[in-house]
Amino acid sequence: MTLKLDKKDLKAFLETLMEEYDLFAPVKLAEGVSIYKKIDSPDEVDLSTENPQKPAKEVFFPQSETMFRYEKAGKRYQMTSTEGVERERVILGARPCDIQAFSLMDDVFLGKEYKDVYYGNKRKATTIIGLACPHPLSTCFCSSAGGGPFLRKGSDLFLIDLGEMFIVELLTEKGMAFQKNKFFREANTKEISLAKGIEEKASTKADASVPIGGIDRRSDLMMENPFWDRMHEKCIGCGVCTFLCPTCHCFDIVDEAITDKGQRVRNWDSCLFPLYSQETSGHNPRPTGRERTRQRLMHKFNYFPKNFGRVACVGCGRCILYCPVNFDIRQAIKLTSPKEIKKVKDEVDLTRQ
């Protein structure tokens, strides 16, 4: 069902939304820097920004999250889980790439063996209002990664920015619940065709030529390839690419305590940090950048497909945009073609030692 929302009504719409839901939306923190955040006032919401630095995964999988609190009472401990979600939630303005990533995170967190209640409860309580990407950047390659700037899959409602208004598509049962919303009106055919035009133009812009298809099989034989000797060299081992990646989901679990009271917390972690794999004995199974860079890329393009049938990359381009040393994942993917691998191998062999 296709409706529209006038931008002048946006604030009022958000106000009514916030009466029922906890609202999460892009908020500008500084010039050119934004994140998804729980909204206190509709004025904070900024749908005009580029895709925020930090992906929307934070709404389901916060960077730092309390798992339970405890307090010592005599010899026993009183433990209280914080897994519950008090109010229904709405994510407003998530891009199709981030939304596609939710389904990959579902594979991990809601997999068949163990269900992650912290992720699952939030996910279940959330309605997703996606926002179409009319201007994919040159670093965007969602169209190579099984997505697209107007991919609606995963959204309950979907917005297309027409300047003065948003086209609002109701896509799921959760979305249809908004059918009677007083701020939504029927869109006319002219508006609908305008949206179509923007969609057609945008879909040609996201790069569809990054050779992701078949990378899981190609990379099967790459574990010991000298390719990695070169690949990691410029990586400085920070966590930018993994923290800003909408599909990276590694975490650490720690206790924060003051004497008899405290909490267990999980924090995002990164396979690029040496400490991540370092064992108490001092032994580190991934001792250098070579193994750590390999882990990052192989997890996305080989291990994840083996477990879940698709790559753990949605082509959002954040790791390319924000890498301090311009490590470009697209180049790494291109280098996995048999011809390129041979070239790298020859070069490495020639100059080893």
Partner 1 sequence: MIQEKIREKARELLSNKTVDLIIGFGEGSLPLRTTPRFIRDPEKVNRLIWNSFCENNLATYLHKFSKLKVGIVVKGCDARSITALSLEKRFKPDQLFLMGVPCQRMVDRRKVGRAVKGEILQAREENDLIHVKGDGFEIALEREDFLYPSCQACMHRNPIHVNVTLGDPVEESPLIESYHEAKRFEQMSPEERWNFFERETSRCIRCYACREACPMCYCTECFVDSSNPKWIEKGLSPSDIQFYHIVRAYHQTGRCSGCGACERACPMEIRLTYLTQKLNRDVKELFNYETGIEPDIPPPLSTYEIEDKQDFIK
Partner 2 sequence: MKNPYFPIPMRVKRTSVETTDQMLRTIELSFLNEEDKRAFHFIPGQFCELSVLGKGEAPFGIASSPTENGSLKFTINKAGVVTTALHHIEEGAEVGLRGPLGNGYPITLFEGKNILVIGGGFAFTTLRSLIAFFLQPQNRNKVKDITVIYGARMPGLLLYKEELKEWEKRDDIKLVVTVDWGDKDWNGKVGLVPNVLEEVAPSSENTYAVICGPPIMIKFTFPKLMALQFPNERIYTSLEKRMKCGIGKCGRCNIGHLYVCKDGPVFSYDQLEKLPKDY
Kindly list the residues in this chain that would bind partner 2 in the complex (CB under 8 A): 67-68, 70, 72, 75-77, 79, 81, 83, 108-109, 111, 113-118, 120-121, 223, 249-255, 257, 259-260, 262, 264, 266, 269, 271, 276-281, 283, 285-286, 291, 295, 298-299, 302-304, 306-307
Question: Hey, what are 185's tokens?
Answer: 């009106």
Minimum Å gap between C-beta 266 and partner 2 is 8
- In this chain, which of 84, 111, 197, 324 binds partner 1, going by CB under 8 A? 324
Nearer Cβ to partner 2 (116/156):
116
**Closest C-alpha to 13, from 93, 121, 99:** 93
Does position 343 interact with partner 1 (CB under 8 A)? The reply is: no
Radius of gyration of the chain (CA): 22
Of residues 281 through 320, those in contact with partner 1 by CB under 8 A are 289, 320
| Pairing relationship of beta strands 76-81 and 89-94 according to DSSP bridges | unpaired
Partner touching 174 among partner 1, partner 2, none, CB below 5 to 8 Å by kind: none
Minimum Å gap between C-beta 318 and partner 2 is 19
Beta bridge partners of 78: 71
CA distances from 79 to 52, 64, 209, 329 (A): 36, 19, 52, 43
Minimum Å gap between C-beta 204 and partner 2 is 35
Minimum Å gap between C-beta 285 and partner 2 is 5
Q: What amino acid is encoded at 233 in this protein?
A: E
Q: Which residues contact 9 (CB under 8 A, 6 or more apart)?
A: 183
Question: Pattern 53-92, binding to partner 1, x per CB under 8 A?
Answer: xx--------xx----------------------------
**Closest C-alpha to 13, from 129, 154, 163:** 129
Angle (CA) 119-121-125 rounded to 5° is: 115
Other Cβ atoms closer than 10 A to 295? 18
Nearer Cβ to partner 2 (189/281):
281
Does position 265 interact with partner 1 (CB under 8 A)? The reply is: yes
Nearer Cβ to partner 1 (94/320):
320
Instruction: Collapse the DSSP code of 320 into the 3-class scheme (helix H, G, I; strand E, B; otherwise coil) and give the result.
Output: helix
Distance CA 179, CA 60 (A): 26
CB 121 within 8 A of CB 83: yes
Residues in contact with partner 1 by CB under 8 A are: 29-33, 35, 53-54, 63-64, 135, 137-139, 230, 233-234, 236-240, 243-244, 252, 254, 256, 265, 267, 270, 273, 275, 289, 320-322, 324-328, 330-331, 347, 350-351, 353
